[in-house]
Structure 1
Amino acid sequence: MAGFGREQLQLVDVPVPQPGPHEVLVKVAAVSVNFRDHLTVENGMGAALAFPFVPGSDMAGTVAQVGPGVKRVAPGQRVINTFWTNWHDTPLPKSSTQGKAFGGPVLPGVFSQYLVFNEEDLIPAPETLDDSAASTLTCAGLTAWNALISSGHLQAGQRVLIQGSGGVALFAAQIALGHGAQVILTSASADKRARAKALGVQHVIDRTQPDWPDAVLAATGGHGVDHVIELAGGDLTATLSTLATGGRIAIIGVLDGFHLNVPTPLMFARRARIEGIGVGNRKSLRELAQWLDLNNIKPVIEAEYALADLPAALSHQQRGPFGKVVVRMN
């Protein structure tokens, strides 16, 4: 990027970087697109960027070369990257040690054919997933896994409300279903509701109807939901009204803005727990990859683009895909 806006995206030739001590050169095969990338390209998510800048946070590729002292990976091995550079195994890092995220605002991103990573910021790619599917785990898959499993401690038989049908939403649905939960998904699109039903989601609800919270409660037999994957944010009044006593809302998305409206009387009445999810750590990413392999579950990818068509991929992401949008790098 030479500046903000999709019209500022350019393909340029640069020398292939060389790995130093404990560094790994990766030939990137696929990069998945997140709503975060759209915001970064348009306005830096409100932060200043040093141009030229490379966006993107999620890649899958193959180790091309290793520097001195590398022990975690080997040449020829397929890998994916972590989202944070230093959040590896601790449950919840202090802000001073959490590190930086790939693709902005401090670190450049992964829309490059060759990249150098510290070996600590890579894990083996799932054996059962191709490069396109593997590239979707770093942000969307890990966010859903952290919200429901690492932080949420989802139990079989619990009820999960998922707001939307994008990448994080469908990962959450697949993870919840795979752990024996009852899933209720809301969407404004009849087509997406039908496609979610075909994935095995037990209840799909029209988000455009003003009484959609009543439909959620009816789907749970009046119990309410134990977990909410909240992708819109904004006013939480309706979402809180669907919650079971002691239920939990994982705040993930900002589609309705960067500020929440939380009616405290309703929050008190529900004994609600509201938690912001900042993707997740390397340990959780490895657990997700292993779980997908063990259960032979494939992420939902709606479309794939060539690198030269990155502006079109970002437009597709902005429109709201059913699942993930991926860019093939080769």
Structure 2
Amino acid sequence: MRKWVLEPGITGLDALVLKESPVPEPGPGQVRVAVKAASLNYRDQILLHGRWGITIEEEVVPLGDASGVIDAVGPGVEEWRVGDRVLGIYHGGWIDGPPPAEVGFGLGSPGQDGVLAEYIVLNADRVTRMPSTLDFVEASTLPCAALTAWSALTGDKPVRAGQRVLTLGTGGVSLFALQLALAMGAEVTALTGQDVKASRLLDLGATDVINYRTTPNWGEVVHSATGGMDKVVNTDGGNALTQSLAAVSAGGEIAFVGLFSEGDAPPPLLVLMTKAASIRGVAVGSATAFTQLIDFVDQHGIKPVVRSTFAFEDAKAAYTAQAGADVFGKIVVEVAPQS
């Protein structure tokens, strides 16, 4: 079979190498999945370029999101059958509730082979059923970005109909948060740094769109116009925390998801206190939450926004496209033809 790997000691696209290897066999309690499609996340750029001091010390298959078909089951597996259409689960060992002490970076990170291969072997509890309303390309976008958005919108303060949600940017998590929040009955204000994307956000259902580059005090503007957001999905990071606190309503919540900026200036704690608001970190989500998300996607007919697809041989081009400033929607590698 063919697989892409990240070679140790190299960063950038040169680290990504296409190799041949034997088709793996599932052991006890495992299943083998013939991968149909795999999607990229911003995390995969971090790993490719060795950012944040993360280094690849041993060869690893990249990417953490995939859809496929079970084509072999190991001894003792009773819950799955050959032919079942499944998704990989991003984090292993996280069934429900808070994350384990060391949740890690998920499939396709140091020490944990990912899914950019024609076949993968996973523990039987590391896969879940695919939504019946999505094809393989669409479904492959769910395990990280969609589940992160779902976890941000639910948790201790789940979004309810009639509430207001603020999303930052047009990355995968933000677009899923917009779609999911609308299906929950919320009104969504979206931020973007490019006016050209505003109409697309409005087409998806956003009530209002603000350019955060031309309106740097966007949080104050949002709060003045609406009285505050019940939920702010902060996918940017520390640099956006001050304005997120300005935007959030009294008693509201900031779901802190961002990886794009690591600004560590202290947030205005007086604002946090006087609003009795909360900041909650979100680390993708549990297997139980993923099942709930899949049911919700089927129930509401949510269709992921897919920007473009690439052939398996063109994985490097997929990485390049995903890193582009104009990207709007998920980038997917079609590992095998859909059927």
- TM-score normalised according to structure 2 size: 0.92
What's the counterpart of residue 267 of structure 1? 272
Q: Against the structure 1 CA distance between its residues 215 and 231, is the aligned structure 2 distance closer, same or farther, given a 3 Å change threshold?
A: same
Q: Deviations over 1:260-316 (max 9, x none)?
A: 641212221222201110000011111111111111111111111112222221122
More moved, 142-151 vs 160-169: 142-151
Cα deviation for residue 47 of structure 1 reads 2.5
**Counterpart residue number, 2:3:** none
Secondary structure of 2:249's counterpart equals strand
Give aligned-pair identity as a percent.
37
Q: Do structure 1's residue 10 and structure 2's residue 17 form an aligned pair?
A: yes
How far apart are residue 86 of structure 1 and its match?
A: 0.5
1:77–1:258 CA distance, 2 compared to 1 (3 A): farther
Count of residues paired in the alignment: 326
State the shift of 1:259 in Å. 3.7
Asked if residue 282 in structure 1 is aligned to residue 297 in structure 2, the reply is: no
2:99 aligned partner, one-letter code: P
Q: Which residue of 1 aligns with 2:216?
A: 210
Instruction: Give CA-to-partner distance per residue, 1:99-152, whole Å, 9 cap, x none.
Output: 772111231211111000000000010011000110111000000001102444
Counterpart residue number, 2:303: 298
Q: Partner of 1:171: helix, strand, or coil?
A: helix
Question: In structure 2, what residue type is equivalent to 1:265?
Answer: L
Q: What amino acid is the match of 1:14?
A: S
1:86 aligns to 2:93 (yes or no) = yes
Residues 41-50 or 110-119, more deviating: 41-50
- Normalising by structure 1, we get a TM-score of 0.94
Query: d(CA) in 1 for partners of 2:19 and 2:163?
Result: 50
Query: Structure 1 residues 182, 37: CA separation in 2 closer, same or farther (over 3 Å shift)?
Result: same
- For structure 1, which runs of at least 5 residues remain unmatched after alignment? none
Cα distance in structure 2, aligned partners of 1:86 and 1:70? 17
Q: Which residue of 2 aligns with 1:326?
A: 332
SS at match of 2:250: strand
Gaps of 5+ in 2: 1-5
Conserved? CA contact 2:219–2:245, under 8 Å? no
Superposition CA RMSD, Å: 1.6
**Aligned AA for 1:36?**
R
State the partner residue of 1:125: 130
CA distance in 2, matches of 1:127, 1:278: 26
Aligned-partner Cα distance in 1 for 2:30–2:272: 47
